Amino acid sequence: MSNDGSRETNGPPSDGVGGSPLSGVRVLDFGTAWAGPHATETLALLGADVVKIESRKRLDLFRTMAGMETTPGFNDINLSKRSLCIDLSREDGRGLARRLTAVADIAVDNYRPGVMERLGLDYQSLSVINPKIICLSVSAFGATGPEASRAGYAAIFCAMGGLAHLTGYPDWEPALVRSPMDLTVANASAAAAVAALWDRDETGVGCFVDMSASDVVTNLIPGAVAAWDLEGVDLNRQGNASSSGHLQEVFPACGEDSWVAVSVWNDEQRESLADFVGESDAKSQLRSWIATRTAPEAADALQRAGVPAVPTMSPIDIIGDQHLQERGVFERLHHPMQGDVLALGRVWRTSSGPQSITRAPLLGEHSREVLGEWLNLTDVEIDHLRDAGVLE
Spatial CA neighbour of 364 closest among 74, 86, 9, 36: 86
Q: Cβ closer to other proteins: 96 or 154?
A: 154
Spatial CA neighbour of 41 closest among 382, 359, 391: 359
Among 95, 114, 145, 389, binds other proteins (CB under 8 A): 145
Q: Cβ closer to other proteins: 224 or 390?
A: 224
Decide: is 234 part of the binding site for other proteins (CB under 8 A).
yes
Among 10, 32, 55, 75, binds other proteins (CB under 8 A): 75
How far is 262 from 311, CA to CA, in rounded Å? 9
For 239-244, the CB contacts below 8 A with 24+ separation are 239/168, 239/169, 239/170
Residues in 177-206 at the binding interface with other proteins, rule: CB under 8 A: 177-180, 183-184, 187-199, 201-202, 205
Q: Cβ closer to other proteins: 275 or 383?
A: 275
Find out whether 206 and 196 touch, Cβ atoms under 8 Å: yes
Smallest gap from Cβ 384 to other proteins, in A, equals: 37
Decide: is 255 part of the binding site for other proteins (CB under 8 A).
no
Smallest gap from Cβ 123 to other proteins, in A, equals: 7
The dihedral through the CA atoms of 117, 120, 121, 124 has a sign that is positive
Find out whether 75 and 363 touch, Cβ atoms under 8 Å: no
Quick note: the x/- pattern for other proteins over 8-47, rule CB under 8 A, is: ---------xx--xx-------------------xx--xx
How far is 344 from 79, CA to CA, in rounded Å? 10
Q: 3-state DSSP call for residue 143?
A: coil
Q: Cβ closer to other proteins: 324 or 375?
A: 324
Binders of other proteins: how many residues, by CB under 8 A?
143
List 263's β-bridge partners, or say none: 248
Among 44, 51, 77, 357, binds other proteins (CB under 8 A): 77
Smallest gap from Cβ 161 to other proteins, in A, equals: 7
